[in-house]
Amino acid sequence: MAYSDKVIDHYENPRNVGKMDDKADNVGTGMVGAPACGDVMRLQIQVSDEGIIEDAKFKTYGCGSAIASSSLLTEWVKGKSLEQAAEIKNTEIAEELALPPVKIHCSVLAEDAIKAAVQDIRTKRGEETAAE
């Protein structure tokens, strides 16, 4: 299967790989796994008191498409509000990276990860969880 140039670019030069202190008050962590293949993704966001995402880091144990999806996502969420970040759809990621049908679940992993990270910081801050 041929990967798109964008997938290869993110795979070879992943942005924002790393780890944040998941105990910190201003850090939200999303850790999700893909039942389809067993890949695991950890996505973390650093959030200001105003609810703006100042930084994002990821670590993905998975295929090139999963790594590219999470790398792209960390670029997209910086500067966004929690609400905006939680609205990112896997279809937008899949479209940007031109993922083939068998790799769509890799972008779902990224959507699940950011939603989990947003949920985590909201829970830490004791906010009501908005129904999706």
Residues known to be catalytic: 37, 106
Judged by CB under 6 A, does residue 27 bind ligand FES? no
Judged by CB under 6 A, does residue 45 bind ligand FES? no
Contacts of 58-64 spanning 24+ positions with Cβ under 8 A = 58/14, 58/16, 58/17, 58/18, 58/113, 59/17, 59/18, 59/19, 62/34, 62/37, 62/106, 62/109, 63/37, 63/39, 63/103, 63/106, 64/3, 64/7, 64/8, 64/11
Judged by CB under 6 A, does residue 104 bind ligand FES? no
Closer to ligand FES at the Cβ: 47 or 114? 114
Closer to ligand FES at the Cβ: 46 or 60? 60
Closer to ligand FES at the Cβ: 63 or 114? 63
What residue ranges bind ligand FES (CB under 6 A)? 34, 36-37, 39, 62-63, 65-66, 103, 105-106, 109
